[in-house]
Amino acid sequence: MRIVFSLGGSILAPDEIDEIYLGKAADFLRKISGRHSIAVVVGGGAPAREKIAQAESGLSQAAYDWIGIKATRENAKALKEKLGDSAFPQIPETLFDAQKRYGGKILVMGGTEPGHSTDAVAALLADWVSADLFINASNIDYVYDRDPKKNKDAKPIRNMGFDYIVELVAKESTCAGKYPLLDLVAAKTIQRSRIKTIILDGRNLENMENAVEGREFQGTEIN
């Protein structure tokens, strides 16, 4: 299968880069790359948010985005280095370069340009390479019908259609360093190209492997 992952910075770098998780994620990716073509788009996590917060005030949103992009590329570099020879040696900086390289060694990259999060980069890459599966791995176990942090009775949703995820995320506000759940560009991309998508907690790598291999898993499937 052709698979594109969006690996949330929230799990790779909840504070600084989590070396233990990085090692386990690299093992997982190496293992499944024997059977599947893989690209991983890495998020910025706490380092991105800290650098955006520490930057001088009054910059444009695009300038703050650019600080975030550089942080995502640093995280991508850390994962690529952990993967060693299993990874394509360069970190593509554009979707055009990424789609050209896809299909050989594990492709690792961060952000591309301002205006969206790495979820959008991953969804657009999934579209471009006609991926069979897009996996959005962050620190949430399911998509809920309401924000579970604010609503105790929020219900997890196991399966949903593309229109529903677009409707859900369209209500959320976004700015540099802050894209909750999935950004609208990503949601619209999977909707327009009908890309099978799974949203799950990427900290549980066994569960993620189950999702990849078509076994029972915890998470929300969108198709």
Query: Which residues of this protein are in contact with ligand UTP, per CB under 6 A?
Result: 8-10, 43-45, 48, 65, 68-69, 72, 111-118, 121, 176-179
Q: Which residue has the tokens 């897009």?
A: 134
Taking the CA atoms of the chain, what radius of gyration do you get in angstroms? 16
Least Å from the CB of residue 149 to ligand UTP? 14
Question: Smaller CB distance to ligand UTP: residue 14 or 86?
Answer: 14
Least Å from the CB of residue 99 to ligand UTP? 15
Closest residue to ligand UTP using C-beta atoms:
68
Structure tokens at 137: 């791995």
Question: Smaller CB distance to ligand UTP: residue 1 or 51?
Answer: 51
Question: Smaller CB distance to ligand UTP: residue 11 or 106?
Answer: 11
Q: Alpha-carbon distance 10 to 32, whole Å?
A: 22
Question: Smaller CB distance to ligand UTP: residue 61 or 84?
Answer: 61
Least Å from the CB of residue 54 to ligand UTP? 14
Question: Smaller CB distance to ligand UTP: residue 16 or 213?
Answer: 16
DSSP symbols for 121-139: HHHHHHHHTT-SEEEEEES
- What are 185-188's contacts with CB under 8 Å, separation 24+? 185/115, 185/116, 185/119, 185/120, 185/123, 185/124, 186/6, 186/116, 186/117, 186/119, 186/120, 186/122, 186/123, 186/124, 186/136, 187/123, 187/162
Least Å from the CB of residue 147 to ligand UTP? 15
Least Å from the CB of residue 79 to ligand UTP? 13
